[in-house]
A and B are shown apart, each in its own frame.
Chain A
Amino acid sequence: MKSLDELNKIREEALKRVTLRQSDAQYRIMIGMATCGIAAGARPVLKAFMDAIDKDKLPCIVQQTGCIGMCIHEPIVEIIDQAGTKTTYLDVNVARAKEIIDRHLKHHEVIPEYTYILK
């Protein structure tokens, strides 16, 4: 390494690997991964979110959560912003996940037709 710029470059590269451990993520994405969620196809949804975050370098973290009792609407994805406002998307599949990534995570727009909003 020969300059401060190079140090900063390494820092940015490495920061992506440790953001998980810091709490300044823009959105937390909670995916219901109980038996019901997994059976309804939550894992491909989880993968879709993770791939998108990785590819587009979104400042978001993915977490798994258990069953919240609405098994009929699984896979359920909750998106929590920094203020703690929670948006709950029901019956998410990979196609819907892509739409959520595009509209909600990138353009900060809630998609009402898939939601159930809790304050």
Chain B
Amino acid sequence: MERTHVLICAGTGCTSSRSLELVKRFEEDIKFKELDKEIKVIKTGCFGLCQKGPIVAIYPDKVFYSHVALSDVDEIVSEHLYKGRPVKRLEITDIDENTKEQIFEFEKIRFYAKQKRIALRNCGLINPEDITEYIALDGYQALGKVLTTMTPQQVIDEVKRSGLRGRGGGGFPTGNKWQFAANQVNDQKYVICNADEGDPGAFMDRSILEGDPHSVLEAMAIAGYAIGSNHGYIYIRAEYPIAVERLKIAIGQAKEYGLLGENILSSGFSFNVEIRLGAGAFVCGEETALIASIEGKRGMPKVKPPFPAVKGVWGKPTIINNVETFANVAPIINQGADWFSAIGTEKSKGTKVFALGGKIVNTGLVEVPMGTTLREVIYEIGGGCPNMKNFKAVQTGGPSGGCLTEAHLDTQIDFDNLVALGSMMGSGGMIVLDEDNCMVDVARFYMDFIVDESCGKCSPCRIGTKRMLEMLTDICEGRGTLETLDKLEQLAIHVKDSSLCGLGQTAPNPVLSTLKHFRNEYSAHVVDKKCPAKVCKSLLDYSIDKEICKKCGLCAKGCPTTAITGTLGKVPYEIDPAKCIRCGACVTNCPFGAIIRA
């Protein structure tokens, strides 16, 4: 019998901080102390608190350890697992705001207290490579319920009633999508899971597939039953090797248990799932481009209509849902549409997973009910900006979204509120920017990404984004004028209005939203030729404060262009702006902080 489980995160974040070596070390150590019959080490998916990885959780004690190093294993095993004394110095703790006391229970620490986990319900709790653990926590019950007690139309009605909307960015009602495909009369239909997560900084789909792959497989089978399809594709990028591997294992186990394949649970319904690897093109997240890629063609979008629900992969009716959308389906069937629709706001039901990144204390994965404010996510769960820096903006929705400011922090997050503010929820990337980030530079970063990823089929996106990038580069390098800003804004609106697919239609959002909310920063770049955040190198001037300079010469020594002159111990040093390449090496080298950057 097992009395203790040691859960070690094997998601991408913790794996890269060597959590797999920890697994090995724990197993060896536990065996050495002859505890291996009563203590089991289990690899799980993401706990969400990636910032503090590798994470090790001990159940039933519910002790969470963070930043666990190989050298800590012996102490945890001999102190905690053998003698029952948790190693306090490694525990994740928080301070209770009211009593000022230290909190050790992980459910009560602020990072977890505000969260509600539906899509991530099993991540960090079960071993994703063991189907029986998923089954233990009500896995495949929804599929069983659907196959034995519900008609396909009842399934669609339940999903419709739940108010579930697509989590990939569009926010289209999932039930309606299923209905369109179900209404088509055809000998073959398909279910596609879109796992081509491409937004920089977003990793929720990856974490769900790594931590709970069966939740997606189960939902795909349910969708197949609802629309009358017996074949599913998971389109996932090859750059997610762990997710692909666990999916393969999951599909194999589900087939072995008869939960995928022919005649599932003797119901006469059959469903098979195939993995298709993408090469990591952003545009292949767009559904028609994704379909082209599955068919072996170049990933380029097509004009809609016909919509995929009518004419999708191989010309057959197809539904395409995002990973997170699928992860919500089984709980909706199990607990009912009323339960789900009671969570969230009027038009956005349920929860949303966000990948918190950028200048934030708790980088990681959080799932909150719709209607939670940006302030709660960023400050209470995320812990605010590190190093006492001031918050400047939050970028939501990746390259398709926009930047929101301090003034928007009390906005309730849902599909419609963010769109109204010129951003979008997108797939759930949330990148926090502080006073050291230049908004023009941020807009340029996203435009650079879009120029790389534009497929080139339609000219507004292919040429328009390239021209926008050039203008943004001009602004960052001091060649911009007020006229450039007007042109940029106009072009952005044109690209938005005339591009073929979602990629081009949303690509100008980062530019438009920063122009709207941070126009003064753009003006500073083009009028004063200054970058207020001191990011744009070409607009910086370096000089040396003669009063502070100790004439040590370290700055001159480190200068790669010999732009700094002076005499050791006698004449204060000076920078020749004509030679200076603004690399900042002198700032790092000066022990006295005498270099002024303005």
- Residue among A14, A46, A61 with the highest chain B CB neighbour number at 10 A: A14
Interface size on B, residues (CB 8 A): 34
With a CB–CB cut-off of 8 A, which chain A residues contact B125? 21
The chain A residue with its CB closest to the CB of B143 is: A7
8 Å CB contact of A63 from B84, B135, B258, B266 = B84
A35 to B82, CA, bound (A): 10
With a CB–CB cut-off of 8 A, which chain A residues contact B133? 14, 17-18
Given A1-B265, A7-B265, decide whether A34 and B84 contact each other with a Cβ distance below 8 A.
yes
Question: Which of A49-57, A85-93, A102-110, A111-119 is found at the contact surface with chain B?
Answer: A49-57
With a CB–CB cut-off of 8 A, which chain A residues contact B62? 23
Given A17-B133, A31-B84, decide whether A61 and B2 contact each other with a Cβ distance below 8 A.
no
Verify if A101 is at the interface (C-beta below 8 Å from B): no
Are A18 and B137 in touch, CB under 8 angstroms? yes
A4-B144, A21-B125 given; 18 more Cβ-contact pairs under 8 Å: A1-B258, A2-B258, A2-B265, A3-B265, A10-B132, A10-B135, A11-B136, A13-B132, A14-B136, A23-B60, A25-B60, A33-B84, A34-B84, A38-B83, A50-B1, A65-B84, A66-B83, A66-B84
Interface string of B513-555 (1 = CB under 8 A from A): 0000000000000000000000000000000000000000000
With a CB–CB cut-off of 8 A, which chain A residues contact B83? 33-35, 38, 64, 66
Are B265 and A20 in touch, CB under 8 angstroms? no
Some 23 contacts from A to B, beta carbons below 8 A apart, are A2-B266, A3-B265, A4-B148, A7-B265, A11-B139, A13-B132, A18-B133, A20-B5, A20-B60, A21-B59, A31-B84, A34-B85, A35-B83, A50-B1, A50-B3, A51-B1, A53-B1, A61-B3, A61-B60, A62-B3, A63-B3, A63-B84, A66-B83
Verify if B259 is at the interface (C-beta below 8 Å from A): yes
The 7 tightest CB contacts between A and B, nearest first, are: A64-B84, A54-B1, A14-B136, A14-B132, A1-B258, A66-B85, A62-B3
A4 to B141, CA, bound (A): 8
B598 → chain A closest CB, angstroms: 56
Verify if B257 is at the interface (C-beta below 8 Å from A): yes
Verify if B140 is at the interface (C-beta below 8 Å from A): yes
The chain A residue with its CB closest to the CB of B136 is: A14
Q: In the complex, which residues 19-43 of chain A have their Cβ closer than 8 Å to any Cβ of chain B?
A: 20-21, 23, 25, 28, 30-35, 38
Verify if B405 is at the interface (C-beta below 8 Å from A): no
B250 → chain A closest CB, angstroms: 15
Are A18 and B258 in touch, CB under 8 angstroms? no
A107 to B9, CA, bound (A): 39
A119 → chain B closest CB, angstroms: 21
With a CB–CB cut-off of 8 A, which chain B residues contact A10? 132, 135, 257
The chain B residue with its CB closest to the CB of A51 is: B1
8 Å CB contact of A21 from B60, B132, B258, B259 = B60
Verify if A72 is at the interface (C-beta below 8 Å from B): no
Verify if B4 is at the interface (C-beta below 8 Å from A): yes
Are B140 and A7 in touch, CB under 8 angstroms? yes
With a CB–CB cut-off of 8 A, which chain B residues contact A30? 84
The chain A residue with its CB closest to the CB of B62 is: A23
Give the number of A-B contacts (CB < 8 Å): 90
- Residue among A2, A13, A32 with the highest chain B CB neighbour number at 10 A: A2
A113 → chain B closest CB, angstroms: 26
Interface string of B136-174 (1 = CB under 8 A from A): 111111001000100000000000000000000000000
With a CB–CB cut-off of 8 A, which chain A residues contact B576? none
A3 to B266, CA, bound (A): 6
Are A28 and B132 in touch, CB under 8 angstroms? no
A101 → chain B closest CB, angstroms: 13
A18 → chain B closest CB, angstroms: 5
With a CB–CB cut-off of 8 A, which chain A residues contact B7? 21
A104 to B365, CA, bound (A): 43
Verify if A70 is at the interface (C-beta below 8 Å from B): no
B13 → chain A closest CB, angstroms: 21
8 Å CB contact of A28 from B4, B38, B60, B265 = B60
The chain A residue with its CB closest to the CB of B7 is: A21
With a CB–CB cut-off of 8 A, which chain A residues contact B144? 4, 7
A51 to B84, CA, bound (A): 19
Are B84 and A4 in touch, CB under 8 angstroms? no
A49 → chain B closest CB, angstroms: 9
With a CB–CB cut-off of 8 A, which chain A residues contact B141? 7, 11
A50 to B35, CA, bound (A): 13
The chain B residue with its CB closest to the CB of A11 is: B135
Are A17 and B259 in touch, CB under 8 angstroms? no
A61 → chain B closest CB, angstroms: 4
The chain A residue with its CB closest to the CB of B4 is: A20
Verify if B227 is at the interface (C-beta below 8 Å from A): no
With a CB–CB cut-off of 8 A, which chain A residues contact B1? 50-51, 53-54
A65 to B3, CA, bound (A): 13
With a CB–CB cut-off of 8 A, which chain A residues contact B148? 4
With a CB–CB cut-off of 8 A, which chain A residues contact B138? 11
B5 → chain A closest CB, angstroms: 5
A50 to B132, CA, bound (A): 22
The chain B residue with its CB closest to the CB of A10 is: B135
Interface string of B117-137 (1 = CB under 8 A from A): 000000001100000110111
Verify if B61 is at the interface (C-beta below 8 Å from A): yes
B135 → chain A closest CB, angstroms: 5
8 Å CB contact of A33 from B60, B82, B140, B258 = B82
- Residue among A4, A25, A28, A63 with the highest chain B CB neighbour number at 10 A: A4
With a CB–CB cut-off of 8 A, which chain B residues contact A25? 60
Q: In the complex, which residues 41-85 of chain B have their Cβ closer than 8 Å to any Cβ of chain A?
A: 59-62, 81-85
A20 to B42, CA, bound (A): 12
Are B5 and A21 in touch, CB under 8 angstroms? yes
Q: In the complex, which residues 417-445 of chain B have their Cβ closer than 8 Å to any Cβ of chain A?
A: none
The chain B residue with its CB closest to the CB of A9 is: B135
Q: In the complex, which residues 254-293 of chain B have their Cβ closer than 8 Å to any Cβ of chain A?
A: 257-259, 265-266
A75 → chain B closest CB, angstroms: 12
B525 → chain A closest CB, angstroms: 53
